[in-house]
Amino acid sequence: MEQQPAISDYAFLSDSRSGALVGKDGSVDWWCPHRFDGASVFGRLLDPGAGHFTLTPVGVGGPGYRMERAYLPDSLVLRTVHHTPQGSVAVTDALAAEVGARAHELGKNSPAVLIRVVQGLSGRVRMALDFVPRPEYGLLTPYLHEQPDGSVLAGAGPVVLVLRADDLDLRADVDRVSHEFEISAGQVIGMDVAFGEAYGSPPARMEPLTALAETTQAWQAFRDTHIYKGRYPQLVRHSATVLTGLTYSRSGAVAAALTSSLPEQVGGDRNYDYRYSWLRDFSLTMRALWVAACPDETTRLFAWATRSIGRFGDEPVPVLFGLEGERDISEHHCDHLRGYRDSRPVRVGNDAWRQRQLDVPGEVMSAVWRLRDYLGARFEGELQEMVLGLAEQVAATWRLPDRGIWETRDEERHYVSSKVSCWLALDRAVGLADRLGDRADPRRWAAVRDEIRDTVLREGWNERIGAFTGAFGSPELDASVLAMPVARFLPATDPRMRSTIEMVERDLGTESGLLRRWTTDPAGFLLCSFWLVECLVMAGEPKRAEALFERVIGFSNDVGLFSEQIDLTTGAQLGNTPQALSHIGLINAAWRLTEPDSF
């Protein structure tokens, strides 16, 4: 069996409704056109037979061939240049924006159209097109129908796809469209794949060159509204663009990643669906968007969270929601899919929504605190109910064990990072009490807050190891404790915190500079590595922090994308991609290097 491409081979396309991955070989191997967490129509990422759309020179990878690619400035429009012995050709790929969309209109009415434009640069190059749609994660093989206008319609189940190409005589085979054509210097051929619903609106019809120009302008106009004045501006702007690409524009929710079931370890079973929005990541996301000067995104994300949480009952606040606020996203396995490089199971849905994770209220309250000056001198209605409900829930439940921020699927524990987040929730509630009306109880909240702090300092500290460990009474280190100084629970210069940072760096760090989450973690976790950068800055070691930052950013792929983790032996990217938390970590670490006392 042919080896699947490396995760780092993929570039990310987005219309802020859905996303696609296109490999260095010119193959679109992942596209869920309905929305980020919808079913794929191209799913070769997770199984060779689950569909793809390849557009590439004949003989790609052979003698004399080389490739270079980059995003057009401040966009997720990808331009790939193929150099062959016969000549050079550029392929520009994008998911189309609505015609006329600019700045914050991006994605609100996306037409669900994949654009591919081929431009001859020199010589005469023979190109190969292979269109193999397989809707419903590869379960469906569509009927293909040649249309009078030269397009090909693919229909199966609820899905309709239409493939069009300028000046090409496309012919449908039984289950695919395979076509070869030549392109000369100066020649341009546009093509597109438009998605529609069998019993809904028909697929949009767009002129590829016009749509490509409109989409590029929409992205660039969006970035022009955001001004970042810190260090590493190009990296921060690009990571902010990636976060925009992961934002489901209709609601403002940020998907944790584009993909499902890319493994934490090749051949392993820790393969999860990350195409949802985690409240666990809420404060970090808000902070990153704030740093990158994206105020509209922060307020929309906050409004989505308030609506999604709804009224409080006895159940804990869910850790994640669907992109439009769906609560039940129960998990199932796609047993017909082989998985990325035979890493099974392939999961759709994520049962972490059922877990108790006590850190969630703290993340939300921290976000409220950050936006407090924009939310008014007195909170009313749903906002008031949410803040009061979160405070009371923390006060009532902080002594319980939970699953922790890494969402372990074994027994619950008293995780230090979760207790710190409980402290954070009540600390922020006390600070917001004068905006919450007569039901606010800052004196009681402050007493519980202080009790939590005393408990963490007593039970979380392991004198024998000389560090705060992952859970009360545990000898195991956990990189999540690096969030303690970031949350202002304890200064990084405190002797206990300083010792913890040193121990975490010593026992969980690697020669590459990457940090694992725990000692048995098989890979480096990028967010933790960026947390360590922040901790070193706050501990008064900016030069070491900068050197570490420079090493960690070197693990991005050739178009500046990060997955979740990095293989410690090969340096290969692992886990779902592009991973929002990794890009969030980069933005926040860059700002910490710019303003050490920020946040």
Residues contacting 120, CB < 8 A, separation 6+: 87, 89, 183, 184, 185, 186, 187, 188
pLDDT-based confidence at residue 107 (cuts at 50, 70, 90): low
76-102: pLDDT as tens digits = 999 999 999 999 999 999 999 998 777
| 178 found inside a domain | yes
Q: Structurally, how many domains does the chain consist of? A: 1
Q: Please say if the pLDDT value at position 180 is more than 80.
A: yes
Coil, strand or helix at 596: coil
Tell me the one-letter amino acid at 223.
R
Which pLDDT band, with edges at 50, 70 and 90, does 291 fall under? confident
Per-residue model confidence (pLDDT) at position 295? 62
β strands within 251-311, DSSP E: 253-254, 277-278
Count CA within 13 A, CB hemisphere, residue 417.
Answer: 21
pLDDT at 535 over 90: yes
- Is 536 inside any structural domain? no
Looking at residue 1, what is its pLDDT?
47
- The pLDDT of 384-406, averaged and rounded, is 95
Residue 36: CATH number of its domain: 2.70.98
Q: What is the 3-state composition of the chain as percent helix, strand, coil, each rounded to the nearest 5?
A: 35, 20, 45
User: For residues 532 and 252, which has the higher predicted lDDT (pLDDT)?
Assistant: 532
Q: Which amino acid is at 211?
A: A
What does the pLDDT read at residue 315? 81
CA atoms within 13 A on the CB side of 120: 17
Does residue 108 carry a pLDDT above 80?
no
Residue 548 lies in a domain: no
Residues whose CB falls within 8 Å of the CB of residue 132, separated by 6 or more in sequence, listed in order: 42, 51, 52, 53, 175, 176
Question: Which of 159-168, 280-289, 499-508 is the least confident region?
Answer: 280-289
**Spatial separation of the C-alpha atoms in residues 537 and 520, rounded to whole Å:** 27
- Cα 446 to Cα 441: distance, rounded to the nearest angstrom: 9
Alpha carbon of 115 to those of 27, 85, 127, 191: distances in Å?
13, 27, 16, 6
* Whether 107 contacts 16, CB under 8 Å: yes
Structure confidence at residue 296 (pLDDT): 66
pLDDT digits 0-9 by tens, 420-449: 999 999 999 999 999 999 999 999 999 999
**DSSP-derived secondary structure letter, 519:** T
pLDDT, residue 256, reads 96
- Burial class from Cβ neighbours inside 10 Å (0-12, 13-18, 19+) for residue 213 reads middle
pLDDT at 589: 96
Does 245 reside within a domain?
A: no
Stretch 452-479: mean pLDDT: 98
The three-state secondary structure class of 594 is: helix
Query: Mean per-residue pLDDT for 291-295?
Result: 67
- Domain assignment of residue 491, yes or no: no
pLDDT band at 299, cuts 50/70/90?
Answer: confident
Using DSSP, state whether 105 is helix, strand or coil.
helix
Sign, CA dihedral 453-459-464-468, equals negative
- Checking if the pLDDT of 534 tops 70, the result is yes
Q: Is the pLDDT of residue 595 over 50?
A: yes
- Tokens coding 164: 């069009």
Is the pLDDT score of 225 beyond 80?
Answer: no
Residue 221 has what pLDDT?
Answer: 87
pLDDT in tens, 303-355: 888 889 888 777 888 899 999 999 999 999 999 999 999 999 999 999 999 99
As given in the structure block, the two tokens for residue 355 are: 């877990």
pLDDT band at 287 (very low <50, low <70, confident <90, very high): confident
In a domain, 351, yes or no: no
Residue 47 lies in a domain: yes
**437 in helix, strand or coil?**
coil
Domain extent at residue 119: 7-224
Phi/psi-derived region of residue 295, left when phi > 0, alpha when psi is between -120 and 50, beta in every other case: alpha
Band of the pLDDT at 599, cuts 50, 70, 90?
Answer: low
| Averaged pLDDT, 484-494 | 96
Handedness of CA 266, 267, 270, 272 (dihedral sign): positive
Share of the chain above pLDDT 70, in %: 98
Name the CA radius of gyration of the chain, rounded: 25
What is the spatial distance between Cα 382 and Cα 448, in angstroms, rounded to a whole number? 24
Q: Tell me if 415 is assigned to some domain.
A: no
- What share of the chain has pLDDT > 90, as a percent? 83
Mean of per-residue pLDDT scores for the chain: 94
